[in-house]
Amino acid sequence: MAAIGKPGIPGVLTGSVPAISSVRDLGGYIREQRKTAQISLRQLALQAGVSNPYLSQIERGLRHPSAEILQQIAKALRISAEALYVQAGILDERHVSNDTTSAILADAALTERQKQVLLEIYTSFHDSDGASVADAVATP
């Protein structure tokens, strides 16, 4: 099992091609994020450095983009590349609180790097000697 080559993002390659339904789910997720960001397909394609038809095919579930393309799309959408990797089946979901992780990943005011750092800190609190996040925060 090979790890993703991006420091600070734990994950494991699944080694299998995602099922057609997961490719459609990925495309729907990207479309939803694009609409939430209130940008057109053309604008996203331009910002991500891909063609309009290719992005349209991704959103309709006809194409499965590489990790590099997903990273470009995530950057253009100002969302976590990790979120797209999970949707695409490239990364396994983290075993931390989904509510907190989701809130961090969804925060449009944070940069990709800030999201990574927050998730690393949050995960380290969960992993440190069985101490909870609340215990770590309460301790001076």
Sign of CA dihedral 28, 30, 36, 42: negative
Residue 51 sits at the vertex; the CA angle it makes with 48 and 57, to the nearest 5 degrees, is: 100
Chain centroid offset of residue 40 CA: 20
- Axis-axis angle for helices 98-106, 112-127 (nearest 10): 160
Residue 17, sorted as left (phi over 0), alpha (psi -120 to 50) or beta, turns out to be: beta
Question: CA-to-CA distance for 9 and 98, rounded, in angstroms?
Answer: 16
pLDDT for residue 128 = 60
What pLDDT band is residue 103 in, cutting at 50, 70 and 90? confident
Per residue in 36-79, pLDDT (tens digit) is 889 999 999 999 999 999 999 999 999 989 888 998 999 999 88
CATH of 20-88, one of 3.30.300.10, 3.40.50.300, 1.10.357.10, 1.10.260.40: 1.10.260.40
Task: For the chain, report the end-to-end CA distance as a whole number of angstroms.
Answer: 40
What is the SS3 assignment for 1?
coil
What's the predicted TM-score (pTM) here?
A: 0.54
Q: Return all residues near 84 (Cβ < 8 A) that are at least 6 apart.
A: 26, 29, 30, 70, 71, 73, 74
Extents of the domains making up the chain? 20-88, 98-138
Please give the mean pLDDT across all residues of the chain. Answer: 73
CB 83 within 8 A of CB 74: yes
Per residue in 8-27, pLDDT (tens digit) is 333 333 333 344 445 568 89
Name the token pair of 54: 């290719």
